[in-house]
Structure 1
Amino acid sequence: MIEVSRVVPVPPETVFDVLADGWSYAGWVVGSSHIRAVDDGWPAEGARIHHSVGAWPLQLEDTTSVQAVVPRVSLFLEARGGILGTADITIILAPHGDGETLVRMAETVRTGIGGLLPESLQRLLLSPRNEESLARLSDLAAGRAGRSQP
């Protein structure tokens, strides 16, 4: 399991509002290049985001589905990426400091090419990607709250 974390300068409900907007995923999930559709009810359990991964014209079309959700606290996802693999992703939000949120994201690649890589190599590839994803999530949440970040 690869885990990264970041303190975001807004409360958990503001961060969760970004997570609850399935159309915003391509704006913060590194590698997701296009959102084709979002199931009604996202992020309810079983709801899916239909997305493309990669740069055109070499895109893979697949889905990310909600396995479990506790609003404003956690989101458990299964992200499918074609031959690249399927990953379980856990996002946990915890109040931190004065109006901030500690966001923890853990990813376990289960299948596909990614699942064949040793965990040490997965860590080298996924940690920077997931750290950048959390930086983008932070910017979107801060922007929605009307707070700019340098």
Structure 2
Amino acid sequence: MARNRRLILSPPSTVWDLLADGHRYHEWVTGTQRILGADAHWPQVGAQLRVRVGAGPLTLDDICTVRICEPHRRLELEARAEPFGAARIAMQLVPWGENTLFLLEWHPLRGPGTRMHGLPVDYVASVRNGMMLTKLARIAVREHRGALPRP
């Protein structure tokens, strides 16, 4: 399992707003080229987000399904990219003063990733997820600052 954490210098409500907008995942999820569609009831349990992932001409269509949703606190997705199987992506937002401690876990559920699970795969996932959290933090901070009243 790959685990990452990041202190985001904005409140959980700002971070949650980004998670709750399926059409914005391409802005911060590393490897996402574009959003193909998001269910209108995203991020409610059962809602799906269809994305194209990859690098350059090597692409793959992925479906993320919401498995657990506790608004402003927790979002768990099952990301499925055939023929590579599926993974659990668990995101938790912990209030930390006026900021957010964002906890992210990635764990393969089905497919080749379960057999290759271990140090090399977890390391690559951890690096990717670290880049993703850096992007998410930048966007959340920018949006939080933009929402603050001007003196």
- Pairwise same-fold verdict (TM > 0.5): yes
What secondary structure, in the 3-state scheme, does the structure 2 residue paired with 1:145 have?
A: helix
Q: Please provide the CA RMSD for this pair.
A: 1.3
- Partner Cα separation in structure 2 for residue 143 and residue 33 of structure 1: 22
The residue type equivalent to 2:137 in the other structure is: S
The residue type equivalent to 2:52 in the other structure is: S
1:89 maps to what in 2? Answer: 89
**Unaligned ranges ≥5, structure 2:** 147-151
1:117 maps to what in 2? Answer: 116
- Partner Cα separation in structure 1 for residue 122 and residue 55 of structure 2: 22
The residue type equivalent to 2:4 in the other structure is: V
Aligned-residue identity in percent: 35
1:105 maps to what in 2? Answer: 104
Matched-pair contact (CA < 8 Å) for 1:53–1:81 = no
Matched-pair contact (CA < 8 Å) for 1:88–1:110 = yes
1:131 pairs with 2:130: yes
- Once the two structures are TM-superposed, the CA of residue 80 in structure 1 deviates from its matched residue by 1.1
- Once the two structures are TM-superposed, the CA of residue 139 in structure 1 deviates from its matched residue by 1.0
Segments of 4+ moved more than 4 angstroms: none
Please list the CA deviations of residues 22-62 of structure 1 after superposition, one character each: whole Å capped at 9, or x if unmatched.
01111111111110111011001000111011024321112
Aligned length: 146
> For residues 1-150 of structure 1, what are the structure 2 equivalents within 5 Å?
1-97=1-97, 99-146=98-145
